[in-house]
Chains A and B, each alone.
Chain A
Amino acid sequence: MSDRMVFKVEGVGKKFCRSHRHSMFYGTCDVLRGMLGRPSHSQTLRAQEFWALEGITFGLRPGERLGLLGANGSGKSTLLRLLAGIYQPDAGRIEVRGKICALIALGAGFHPLLTGRDNVYLNGAILGMSKRAIDRCFEQIVEFAGVGEFLDAPVKTYSSGMYVRLAFAVAVHSNPKVLVVDEILAVGDAAFQKKCFEQVAALNEQGTALVFVSHSMSAVERLCTSALVLSRGRQAFQGKVREAVQFYSGTVGNGIVQNGAVPEPIGLGEVTFSNVCVYADGGAVADPNIEFGKDFVIQFDYKFLRVQTHDTQVRVWVRTIDGRDVQRLAFQECAFEDQSSYANVKILPLREAGTVKIKVLRPCLFPQTFRVDVAMAPVDRGIHLGGLNNAALFNIVHPRNPGMYFEYGNHTITEFEYSVTLS
């Protein structure tokens, strides 16, 4: 291992078994083989086994901050457990120099019936701290966690935020060489997350390396200097954090886009939609990656299959990938019956067929994947003449200039400003 490395991962692989029955059998065989001093079948795949991680190679130097990016099931948590020494690799090797402190689950070893005070000592002991060392920093732990008045209450009465604050406070005071943090910080509120980031930065200056997993790319980009992208258990990319985030958004994230965008027709089928796409204003139509804060275009073609008999409203929804509404845009051919119109509804004539371009101005959407649903309906009725759910997906990616985030103040998503062009 290079002199300056705190750990080095070389060609590491980890396999799991899909079938519990097979797993029981293999486990028994492996124990018996171990008893007889014979090697287990760790490097070969037996029936029902699969590689959850394969060929992972990287190293970390003191003070380095590595982000782990990847979709669900890509192997991030398995890799963290390998780094923390909880799992043993089935292939390759991991060399560690110094103490690794892993925050993989909320309050490892915390007992719900014991008080916060008792749990600080228990958790500290699990992290390898002596009682004397815990005594020395006890006040700092309590202050950092901000659980002062509840310190002698059982932790089962704590909120999840208090739980994670206490666990994180103990971990950062255990003086680790490497801090491994899974997504648990997402439980804390914004103020605590800020405090955590500052504490991590302070530890970092003292030479503590960080491995950080999060689905929040803004958090990864803010905390880490480099990143590793995992895709289906393989190392898809390793490099500077900005490049890794862009790679993840553009490649792995796009994988989600392509795989997930299975349009689902809705309504009476009296109007069809096609060529639905979302792209950066001024960018390539085929590129669904849009930089944070930049204008983008939602474009689609429509065609009425039957002669219009209604004043029609065009409805476009921007939703998160799991279906939560972010914004609804609508424009229609006339005002409502009472001649009113909603602030966000524009009045525009529709032809029998055409192309719609909706330009969304300065959207405050934070980096993640979104989906677009489109539909047309009579202004005065709830039924859809036609439409497509999951019509297109797009990624909001990090801005080249992180200062963009600050221009958006308290990060509240406000109603989109947009313009519509029909052709």
Chain B
Amino acid sequence: MVGNVVSSRELIWQLFKRDFLAGSKQSALGLLWILITPLVGIVSWVVMNAVGVLHPGEVGVPYPIYVLCGTTIWGMFMGFYSSAAASLTSAGGLLAQARFSHEALVAQQLAQAVIAALANLALLAAVWAVGGLSVHWSALWFPVSLLPLVLLGTGIGLIVSVFAVVVHDITKAVTTLLGLLMFATPVIYASNVPHDWLQRVIWWNPLTYLVGGARDLLLEGRINHMSSYAGAVAFALGLFFMAWRLFFLSEQKVAERL
């Protein structure tokens, strides 16, 4: 599987270049959209908080910083999920016209998610620098702490990509569910909530620890729930490798149904 990706590196580059160039040719703002979309989201949460509609609880840092970190991290998860989920269906007719390593499609899609993630990290760094915010040296591990989260997003996306070829509703269903899951994850509010049932969902949700752990590392220089974070990392890695295997076993069989 890895070998296929390595041997297809030139194809991955060409496909990446194709989508990047073609996308930029029909867009006035181009790459700026990577930043505009999350910024609009952040502004809306901050405004809701400012006018008193949203009560995020005690978050320990200024709310705009908290929500910026939370939505950036969540955005990366969703970005990798969406890219992986679209890897087969976005190729469409090409799969019916030529034989090539389909892992190249996944790698090409993920490369776009990586670009978006880097742009968001750059935005985060710029806010930190402009705001003169302090940062602990452990925050250098922040990008590494994001890896399990993006692997989980990629894993879910790979499973969806296989089933979406035969049943198109899968993508819509899972994307809607993940959208709901954001509200069961402490992205825009603190992890302690006054509702028992929601609190239980938050505690059982592995994304709580993957999102929260990375954010803790950036804001506080440590991961607060280390054992839970480790469990969530194991879950994310397990799901990713299972999904990768599933993709490898099934993609050829389902691709011909496109």
Residues of A within 8 A of B (CB): 23-24, 27-28, 30-31, 34-35, 40, 81, 84-88, 100, 102, 104-105, 108-109, 111, 113-114, 118, 121-122, 125-128, 130-131
Contact = CB atoms under 8 A, between A and B. Distances in A.
Interface class of chain B by DSSP: helix
Interface residues of B, number: 32
Contacts of B256: 81, 86-88
Contact of A126 (B13, B100, B246, B249): B100
Contacts of A87: 256
B92 to A, nearest CB: 11
Given A34-B253, A88-B256, A118 B166 contact: no
Interface of B: 10-11, 13-15, 17-18, 21-22, 25-26, 93-100, 162-163, 165-167, 246, 249-250, 252-254, 256-257
A35 B249 contact: yes
Contacts of A104: 96-98
A114 B98 contact: no
A122 B14 contact: yes
Contact of A108 (B18, B98, B249): B98
A113 B25 contact: yes
B254 to A, nearest CB: 6
A81 B22 contact: no
A108 B53 CA distance: 52
8 contacts: A81-B96, A86-B95, A102-B97, A105-B93, A105-B97, A114-B21, A122-B18, A125-B11
A121 B253 CA distance: 28
Given A84-B98, A102-B99, A24 B250 contact: no
Contacts of A125: 10-11, 13-15
A422 B97 CA distance: 56
Contacts of A122: 14-15, 17-18
A118 B250 contact: no
A86 B25 contact: no
A260 to B, nearest CB: 30
B94 A27 contact: no
Tell me which of A114, A122, A125 has the highest count of chain B C-beta atoms within 10 A of its own C-beta: A125
Nearest to A104: B97
A27 B254 contact: yes
A18 to B, nearest CB: 14
A30 B253 contact: yes
B96 A31 contact: no
A31 B163 contact: yes
Nearest to A130: B10
A169 to B, nearest CB: 16
A33 to B, nearest CB: 10
Given A108-B94, A121-B14, A35 B250 contact: yes
Contact of B162 (A31, A81, A100, A131): A31
Given A87-B256, A122-B14, A102 B98 contact: yes
A108 B250 CA distance: 23
A113 B26 contact: yes
A31 B98 contact: no
A131 B12 CA distance: 12
Closest 10 CB pairs of A and B: A27-B166, A108-B97, A85-B99, A125-B14, A105-B97, A125-B11, A108-B98, A113-B22, A122-B14, A87-B256
Nearest to B19: A111
B94 A109 contact: yes
Nearest to A85: B99
A31 B252 contact: no
B80 to A, nearest CB: 22
Contact of B250 (A34, A81, A86, A105): A34
Contacts of A35: 246, 249-250
A84 B15 CA distance: 20
A383 to B, nearest CB: 50
Contacts of B11: 125-126, 128
Contact of A128 (B95, B100, B249): B100
Contacts of A27: 165-167, 254, 257
A23 B257 contact: yes
Given A121-B14, A126-B11, A31 B250 contact: yes
Contacts of A84: 98-99
B254 A31 contact: yes
Tell me which of B13, B98, B162, B254 has the highest count of chain A C-beta atoms within 10 A of its own C-beta: B98
Given A84-B98, A126-B100, A118 B17 contact: yes
